[in-house]
Amino acid sequence: MGGEFELILYQHGRKYHGIEENLLRAVKKLGEVRIESESLAVMPEMWFGSVAVEEERLEEIFAPLQLLSTDLNMHILPGAFYVKTKDGVFSRSYLISPGGAMTLVSEKIFPSLPMREREKVSRGKVLRVIDLKFARISSLICVDAIYPELARRLAMGGAEVILNPASIPANRAALWRSLASVRAAENTVYWATVMLTESTYPDGRPVRGGSVVAAPNGELIADTGSLEQAIRVKLDLGSVEKQRSRWPYLKDLEELGWASFYSKPML
């Protein structure tokens, strides 16, 4: 696309388990951001705990963020959270657009085995690329970043920006920094990992942020550190086009006929 927009990373400091208190803090923090251009705000995974939201109540529960999105003319991806449906519980990310519409962007394809998430969360099937007019975006939830095939699928499907809402213990933050660089470079996309902070992992390990943005050449261009904060990063999508002309990784695979492999439905 070649344009510019602002990506806003809100590294949420979860101090409560439950939606109401955390939602009020999120609305306040995002409401303080000065919007100067086309923008997309992203939150982490599990920012209100392990509560499962009933699918039919989504719009009711997230009404404050829908109003904020409309008031600021800002798209918001409120991280990832559990959603209870008639087919089971899924870890999902949605996009809230100005006007209030909520669009399902992705589901966690591989719930965590070590944290026993697979015992209560079903394997997802949804990975979509959303065209915001100013950028084509998608998301991979937390540990799905470990699977390079998933990121490649999104890049070959047209994604220019891949978001990774996550909750990672402090002793794994360095690994996620490396993943951000590698996934960005091998797919020539912008990659943004948005972490939870000031919290604890299910097994008691501290969670201390570490949100980062990597450019299409793999360079880390933003780092939130460990503090709860919202930072703004200007992304130039012309860099995606430029890098892809220099590093034709996706084109090479397309010429080998691999595009059809990556477009197959997930079972």
Which pLDDT tens digit goes with each residue over 154-181? 999 999 999 999 999 999 999 999 999 9
Predicted confidence at residue 167, as pLDDT, reads 95
Determine how β-strand 75-77 pairs with β-strand 52-54. unpaired
DSSP code of residue 51 = P
**Class of CATH domain 4-262:** alpha beta
pLDDT tens string 3-45 = 899 999 999 998 878 899 999 999 999 999 988 889 999 999 9
Task: Write out residues in the chain with pLDDT < 70, as ranges.
Answer: 1-2, 267
Domain boundaries, the chain: 4-262
State the chain's mean pLDDT as an integer: 95
> What b/e sequence results for 1-28 when a residue is b if at least 16 CB atoms lie within 10 Å of its CB, and e otherwise?
eeeebbbbbbbbbbeeeebeebbebbee
Beta bridge partners of 106: 93, 127
CA-CA distance, 120 to 122, in Å (whole number)? 7
Predicted confidence at residue 16, as pLDDT, reads 78
Predicted confidence at residue 267, as pLDDT, reads 65
Predicted confidence at residue 2, as pLDDT, reads 63
Structure tokens at 211: 């949100």
